[in-house]
Homo-oligomer: A and B are copies of this chain.
Amino acid sequence: MARPQKRHLGRGNREVDTRQALLEAVLELMNRDKSFDAISLREVTREVGITPAAFYRHFPDMDSLGLELVSTSFRTLREMLKTVRVNPAPEQNVVRRSVETFVTYVRAQRRHFQFIARERFGGVAALREEIDHELTLLVSELATDLARYPNASKWTNEDLQVLANLMIGAMIRIVEQLLMARRRGEDDAEWIDMGEKQLRLVVLGALQWRSSELIEESKTK
């Protein structure tokens, strides 16, 4: 059981994990301007260099392959967030360093982030729902994390969810801008600055949140 799968070598001579090659072929085809539901099974096998029928040795259909891509892509995203958190945070430059980590990761794992971005509202319901579910999970995890900060004592659980939601939102937006920026061939540093400003603004807003809420309430009375 779980013997490593080797290519049958009918044509080539390589020893490759074909299953992995199929997953990567889809990411590659998506990078060449296709959405997932516009990629055919035959295209994928052609890219890998096997017969269409051989596909079924690894996945029952394309959707299953897609769902596996969702979970591996989110593994990449979680790794990124872990790196950001573990990073020895020297108080003052937390935000900038976080954004720098973002950028490095998105550059290195571009196709995973592109996959999530494209299929988050894509045409395949199963993928969309799975991505939505994973993002909801991510927000909850971050909220739990934020609750451990000393300053968080005056926040309700609901507000922590909102804040976490907003931070994930800012992260998504930064990733999206990076994906588009690369396409337009623009500069890195410019977008790191932009991302830093955006994230810092969220933090500033959060720090002001409580006091302002009180003001707002007294106003409407």
Contact = CB atoms under 8 A, between A and B. Distances in A.
Contact of A204 (B30, B172, B204): B204
A69 to B, nearest CB: 15
For chain A, what secondary structure do more than half of its interface residues adopt (helix, strand, loop), or is it mixed? Answer: helix
Interface in A184-221: 184, 194, 197-198, 200-209, 212, 216, 219-220
A208 B204 contact: yes
A175 to B, nearest CB: 10
A35 B33 contact: no
A123 interface: yes
A23 interface: no
A201 B206 contact: yes
Contacts of A34: 37, 123
Nearest to A126: B33
A38 interface: yes
B209 A176 contact: no
Nearest to A115: B121
A52 interface: no
B169 A198 contact: yes
Chain B CB within 10 Å — which of A30, A37, A219 has the most? A37
B121 A117 contact: yes
Contact of A38 (B37, B92, B132, B194): B37
A165 interface: yes
Interface string A81-123: 0000000000010000000000000000000001001101111
